[in-house]
Amino acid sequence: MVKVTFVAADGAQTRIEADEGDSVMSAAVANGVEGIVGECGGSMMCATCHCYVDDDWADRTGPRMDGEDDMLECAASEVTARSRLSCQIRLTPELDGLVVHLPAAQV
């Protein structure tokens, strides 16, 4: 299992455990994390799973996937250098302890 901490815009933290290979988005939805909608189910057709990867983890999650920048243009909240679509981040043992911050709004 891979542990992930979601930090809401108000600072509230939700810690979950998910299976290796799951996307951060699917893990959040399966665990009822407020702030990740995932309207398209992870097919990179919306930006309702927008998140900000914590500075300490940005290098480990890899670069944005092809097309991710285009979808982030549709994000409801500010897009920064740390912005990612959580559906495009796959959980690996190296990401155990991952911290992602959630935007104030998704839609």
pLDDT in tens, 4-27: 999 999 999 999 999 999 999 999
Residue 107 within a domain: no
Categorize the per-residue pLDDT at 89 as very low, low, confident or very high, splitting at 50, 70 and 90. Answer: very high
Single pTM value for the model: 0.95
Q: Which domain holds residue 38?
A: 2-101
The pair of three-digit structure tokens given for residue 3, joined into one six-digit string: 């542990």
- What CATH number is given to the structural domain containing 40? 3.10.20.30
Residue 49 within a domain: yes
Domain count, the chain: 1
Categorize the per-residue pLDDT at 58 as very low, low, confident or very high, splitting at 50, 70 and 90. Answer: very high
Q: What is the DSSP letter of 19?
A: -
Residue 106 within a domain: no
**How many Cα neighbours within 13 Å face the side chain of 51?**
32
